[in-house]
Structures are given as C-alpha cells and as structure tokens.
Chain A
Amino acid sequence: MTPFQVFLQQLANGLTIGSIYALIALGYTMVYGVIQLINFAHGEVFMVGAYVGLSACLWLGLEGVAPGGAMAWGFVGVVGASILGCALLGLAVERLAYRPLRRAPRLTALITAIGLSFFLQNAVMLVYGATDRRFPALVPSVRWNLGGATVTTLQLVIWAAAGLMMAGLQVLVMRTRLGKAMRATAQDPTACWLLGIPVDRIISVTFAIGSSLAAVGGVLFGLYYHTVNFHDGYLIGLKAFTAAVLGGIGNIPGAMVGGLLLGVLETLGAGYLSAQWKHVFAFVVLVVLLLFKPTGLLGERVADRA
C-alpha cells in the first residue's frame, strides 16, 4: 500500500465510525436543544437498539440468509423493529423518568440518567447474558476498491443511512409544523404552552425521534462490528456525546459535523500516532476546541448555570 492509499483507507475507516457517532450524537443534541437535558442514558438506548435488532434477526430467522430479496427485506424489518423498540423505550424513559422531574433542579435529572444507565445495562445483561453476542450479517460483504482503499458494501450503507437520516431530520425540523413546534419549545416552553402548543407531546416526540436514530445507529453498529455487548453503550455513548458538544450541542448539523470529525480525527490519531492514545486524542481535541471556541463548532450560547 502506498502512503496515500493508507491515508484513504484510514479516512474510510474514520468516516464509518464517525457516521455512527453522528447518528447517536443527534439524539443527545435534539433532547438538549429542546429541554437542556444531557440525557446520559442515551448511549444505553443505542445499545438496546442493537439488541432489539439482534432479537429481530433471530426471530425472523435471518441467521445465514443468502444475499437477495429476503436479505434486503430482512434488513428493513430489523431496522424497523429496532426503531419501534427504541422509540417506545425513549417515550417510556421520558414519561416515567424525566417528566416528573421537569420542575425539579436541572441537575437532578443527572441522577436519574445514571440510574437509568445502570438499569438498562444490567437489564440487558440479565436478559441476553454478559458474553458478546454475534450479530448476523444482513448486508452482502462485497469489497469495493475506491482509489486503493477497500470499502465494503456495509460501509457504503452506513454512510448513506447516516446522510439520509441527517437530511430527513433537517427537513423535519426546518420545514414541518412539528419541527417548528420543536424549535419553538426549545426557545420558550412557557410561551408555547400559552399558545396552545402541546409541549409535553413535542418533548415526547423529540425523545422518540432521538431514540429512533440511536436504534438505527445500534443496528448499523452491530452489523459493522458483528458483535454486540451490553456494555457497548458506555464508550460509544460518551464519544457520541463528545461529538455532539464538539459540533455545538443543540445544533443538528453540528452533531453530524462533530461526529464525522471525531471519527476521522480519532482514526487518524490511532493510525498515525498511537492506538494506545486513541481515546486521549478524542478528548484532547474536545478540550482544545472548547478552549478556543467555547460553544463548539456550530453552537450558540447555552445554559450558563450548574
């Protein structure tokens, strides 16, 4: 491999993990944008999404299915099941855990989020076992050569899915009545309530959408790495959260940019400097960026208080 080919390969690697970060970062950013809540349990929702996808695979009998129509429909079914499961989980989390605390001090929700994380992680561990589970292949693993870099079909699917989700979300938030209501709620929930906007429902929908994106991320993650573990939500969730902040928390294109940037920088750091320091790079980039641009790449000023 020439050095340039190595670079291209690393770029492809970075864009893939970056796309997954971006999908999860969107959930953090949307919830934050609407109710200024850092939903630390979001990483676990992503992990649950992967497991729901796994269950759907097993239930639909997709283990070892041959490429073709059945596989394509299987893929759609698995993603759909995962979205449904996570959206319901998101709604339940909002309704049962966060809504009762809406009038409580802001940091209180942090405790709830940690409690939820412990609960979801351990519930999945008890249901599915602590050992890594294999995720069946639902996308034919054809390798493509892009200028010397090897790219699998799955990577193309991941890039496309992340791009489509992002575009769809942007349209939803900027062009629809629902999106308008979400933006209004973000600015002033009390005024919205006075104007007859169903604030509670808008917040629920925000959680559901964010969780659905995490579900897609979870399934793609499972497909890409072939394994899922109940502990996966922690590190990926932390990284996605970092990505959301990097882009400017509360800002939807920011989450996308932040996710891709984090994925690529981390990959290049691991590939060219040291893999051992890989996770340090992610946080050093974050800290340095925030020191020079205290609101993230595309962010605005946010809540000033503890």
Chain B
Amino acid sequence: MKPAGGGHPPSPPQRRRFPWLSWLGFAGACLVPLLGLNAYHVEVLTSAGIFVLLALGLNLVVGFTGLLHLGYAAFFAIGAYTYGLLNLHWHVPFWGGLVPSAVVAGLCGVALGIPVMRVRGDYLAIVTLGFGEIVRLTFTNLEQWTGGPNGLLGIAHPVGWLPGRGWYDFGVDSLPYYYLVAAAVALVATACWRLADSRIGRAWMAIREDELAASCAGIPAVHLKLLAQGCGAAIAGVAGAIFAAKQGTITPDSFDFILSVMLLAMVVFGGLGSIVGVMVGALILGALPEVMRGLDQYRMLLFGVVMILMVRWRPQGLLGGPQIRRELTRG
C-alpha cells in the first residue's frame, strides 16, 4: 500500500481527540439510572441509545466518507434478523449471535458497496434507498423463513452474570439493556475516535473532501469506501442484535424508510463527522417523540415543527466542524 498520509489535502489543524471522554461519558451514563428514573425513563434512554449506536455507524459512512446513504435501516434489520433466526432455529444465545449479526450485516454492507461504486452523490442516495426498501419488503414477503409480516416471535433475551446474583435472564427489565447499550455505545464511540485519527480515518476524510485528488495521492479509494460501508453496516448489525434481544419480537415494519431518513437526520442535525455531535443529535431526535408522547394525536405534528425550527436555529448541525461546513456548502 502506498503511503496514504503524504498527499492528502492540507488537513485542518489536528485537534486533540479524547478517547477517555467516551469512558467518562460511559461512567456518567452508568450513573444516570441512579437519579431516580423509573423503568419507562430507562426504556426511553435505551431506545435512544440504540439510535445513538446506529447514528455512529451511519456517521462513518456519511460523515467521515461522504457517501450519502438512505437505506441504512436495512443493515439494522439484517442484524436483528440474523440474531433472531440463529436463536430461533439453532438456539444460539445472544452473546453468540452478536458477532454473526455484525459480520453478516457488514458483509451485506460491502456487498452493496461493490455494485454501487460507480453511482455517486444523490444517485447513490437513491440506490441505497431502493436497497433499503427491497430488504424490508423481502423480509415481509419471505414468509416461510422470516415469519412474513408477523415477524419473528419469542427471540431469547440475553443472559448475564453478576457477582452475588449469578446467572440471570435479562427478561423485559430495562436496566440491563440500558447498561448493555451504554457499553456498546462507549466501545463504538471509542473505536470511531481512534479511527478518525488513524490513517484510515484521514484517508476517508480525504475521499470525502475530494475523491479524485485523494486517489491521485495514492489513497486506495475503492477499498476504503468499501471498508467504511462494511464497518458502518457492522455497527448497525450489532445494534440490530441488541434490538432483537431487547424486544423479543421483530417485524419488518420496524425497519422502514422513515427510520433510515430519521437516522440521517440525526447525523446531520448533530453535525456530520462530529462524534459527540452525532451522539447528542441522536439522543435528542431519538428521545423527543417519546417525550412528546403525552400529546397523543398532536405529537407528530409538533415533532415536525420542532425539527424545522431546530435546523433553522443551527443549520450547520449542533457540532458541525468548520471543514465540513465548508465542504457541504454549495457554490
């Protein structure tokens, strides 16, 4: 491999990044349930945490590498179904299903990446949109394997071990899932930080800034783009397995186009490429509909208004970096 670092465009001044921040954040997150939140609050935070996980994965693809992806929910679905099917047919436990879910989703990400290599920009968005819909509809239609619209029922919850308590089933309690998701977020966020500072991460950003220049400078753009899509999809696969284990039931309509668009909105609202920003964006957009649940019929109306106002307030995203702002502004 030719040196990738040498020729990429003058990069913004290297900011110091703080991997320990994610551990601090994790420790903080562990303390949150002690604030006297009830099971519902923990559940909402857990669901929002799954969104954070997904947004981090999508950020690798869209934020770091600049590939507009509108079918990301498909990988989430693939991860969830992989664990669900492994568990129902071969009684694979959650911890054993986690890795296959990530691998299968990651391979699907690469497999989708190869044919769409020629397709660019907004057309890429549409191809991925089509892919997302095809995956969802296929899960709906292949009734003999996926249970069709009924989905998969009775997927096993994870089993954990705690000193003093021994082996126990997570069941439908929210708390163990909360810690599981918090740990997964901390791990993925750390990995993202390390990636962003690594040669691979810088090469991704070089591709995002100017693919032609990057490949002229010896960056193997094709491989790196596939890598980004594979990694992003694998993270979604992990999130999918956790989701399936938490719910116990998965149906294809949990993975629709709206979810893909919402995830993209989280990444954009948080600030493309900014790891903390994306996490905050996902937390806000993920928890907001839940916070507004009491408004029953008016909920989605007001949620729409809030979304419009939020981007007027911060069009560049909550924590969008200056180089990204420059890059994404036209003209």
Contacts and interface: CB of A to CB of B under 8 A. Distances in A.
A114 interface: yes
A interface SS class: helix
Contacts of A227: none
Contacts of A101: 311-312, 315
A283 B208 contact: no
Interface in B64-105: 66-68
B116 A291 contact: yes
Given A111-B265, A118-B304, A119-B304, A105 B328 contact: yes
A111 to B, nearest CB: 5
Contacts of A291: 115-116, 118-119, 127
Nearest to A274: B141
Contacts, number: 165
A115 B307 contact: yes
A118 B307 contact: yes
Contacts of A105: 268, 272, 315-317, 320, 324-325, 328-329
A108 B300 contact: no
B183 interface: no
A55 interface: no
Interface in A87-138: 97, 100-101, 103-108, 110-112, 114-123, 125-126
A190 B268 contact: no
Contacts of A114: 261-262, 265, 304, 307
A279 interface: yes
Contact of A112 (B67, B125, B308): B308
Interface in A251-306: 276-277, 279-280, 283-284, 286-287, 290-291, 294-296, 302-306
Contact of A302 (B123, B320, B325): B123
A21 interface: no
Contacts of A115: 303-308, 311
Contact of A242 (B130, B138, B269, B328): B130
Interface residues of A, number: 53
Nearest to A35: B330
Nearest to A304: B121
B300 to A, nearest CB: 5
A189 interface: yes
Interface residues of B, number: 56
A89 B138 CA distance: 37
A100 B272 CA distance: 20
B62 interface: yes
Contacts of B115: 291
Given A107-B264, A111-B265, A280-B137, A122 B298 contact: yes
Contact of A108 (B118, B137, B268): B268
Nearest to A285: B130
Contacts of B330: 36, 106, 303
A54 B21 CA distance: 57
A156 to B, nearest CB: 32
A17 B274 CA distance: 43
Contacts of A118: 300-301, 303-304, 307
25 contacts: A36-B122, A38-B122, A97-B308, A100-B315, A104-B315, A105-B272, A108-B268, A111-B311, A112-B307, A114-B262, A114-B265, A115-B307, A116-B304, A122-B301, A242-B126, A245-B123, A283-B129, A283-B134, A286-B130, A294-B119, A294-B120, A295-B123, A304-B121, A305-B121, A306-B208
Interface of A: 32, 36, 38, 40, 97, 100-101, 103-108, 110-112, 114-123, 125-126, 189-190, 238, 241-242, 245, 249, 276-277, 279-280, 283-284, 286-287, 290-291, 294-296, 302-306
